[in-house]
Amino acid sequence: MTAPVRAEPSIVTVSLGARSYDIVIGRDVVGSLGARIAALRPGAKAAIVTDENVARCHLATVEAALAGAGVVTSRVIVPAGEASKSYRVFEQLCEAVIASRIERGDVIVALGGGVVGDLAGFAASVVRRGLDYVQVPTTLLADVDSSVGGKTAIDSAHGKNLVGAFHQPILVLADPALLDTLPEREFRSGYAEIVKYGLLGDVAFFSWLEANWREIFARGPACEQAIAVSCRAKAVIVARDERETGERQLLNLGHTFGHALEAACGFSERLLHGEAIAIGMALAFEFSATRQGLLPKAAAERVIRHLAAAGLPTGLRDVPGPLPAVDQLMDLIAQDKKVRRGMLTFILVRGIGAAFVETGVDQREVRAFLSEKRAEQ
129 backbone φψ class: left, alpha, beta (φ>0; ψ -120 to 50): left
In the predicted model, residues of the chain with pLDDT beneath 50 are 1
Q: Which of 244, 262, 275, 286 is catalytic?
A: 244
* CATH of range 199-218+253-375; options 3.40.190.150, 1.10.3720.10, 1.20.1090.10, 1.10.10.60: 1.20.1090.10
Which string of DSSP letters, residue by residue, matches 190-246?
A: HHHHHHHHHHHH-HHHHHHHHHHHHHHHTTSHHHHHHHHHHHHHHHHHHHH-TTSSS
| CA dist., res. 248 & res. 320, Å (int) | 31
For residue 158, how many other CB atoms are within 10 A of its CB? 12
Is residue 255 annotated as a catalytic residue, yes or no? yes
Q: Which of 45, 58, 234, 306 is catalytic?
A: 234
List, for residues 38-97, the tens digit of each pLDDT value. Answer: 999 999 999 999 999 999 999 999 999 999 999 999 999 999 998 999 999 999 999 999
pLDDT of residue 342: 60
Is residue 270 annotated as a catalytic residue, yes or no? no
Q: Which of 27, 188, 259, 338 is catalytic?
A: 259
Q: Which of 45, 167, 196, 273 is catalytic?
A: 273
CATH of segment(s) 10-179: 3.40.50.1970
Nearest alpha carbon to residue 191 among 121, 272, 115, 110? 272
Is residue 252 annotated as a catalytic residue, yes or no? yes
Q: Which of 63, 82, 186, 193 is catalytic?
A: 193
Q: Which residues contact 114 (CB under 8 A, 6 or more apart)?
A: 137, 139, 141, 142, 145, 146, 147, 273
pLDDT of residue 160: 83
Is residue 160 annotated as a catalytic residue, yes or no? no
pLDDT of residue 5: 55
Is residue 193 annotated as a catalytic residue, yes or no? yes
3-class DSSP state of 47? strand
Q: Where in the chain is the domain with CATH 3.40.50.1970?
A: 10-179
pLDDT of residue 343: 73
Q: Which helix (H) or strand (E) holds 155?
A: strand 151-156
Is residue 186 annotated as a catalytic residue, yes or no? no
Radius of gyration for the chain, computed over Cα atoms and rounded to the nearest angstrom: 20
pLDDT of residue 339: 61
Is residue 244 annotated as a catalytic residue, yes or no? yes
Beta bridge partners of 21: 14
Is residue 358 annotated as a catalytic residue, yes or no? no
Q: Where in the chain is the domain with CATH 1.20.1090.10?
A: 199-218+253-375
Q: Which of 151, 160, 306, 337 is catalytic?
A: 151
List, for residues 87-131, the tens digit of each pLDDT value. Answer: 999 999 999 999 999 999 999 999 999 999 999 999 999 999 999
pLDDT of residue 110: 98
Which pTM does this prediction carry? 0.93
pLDDT of residue 375: 87
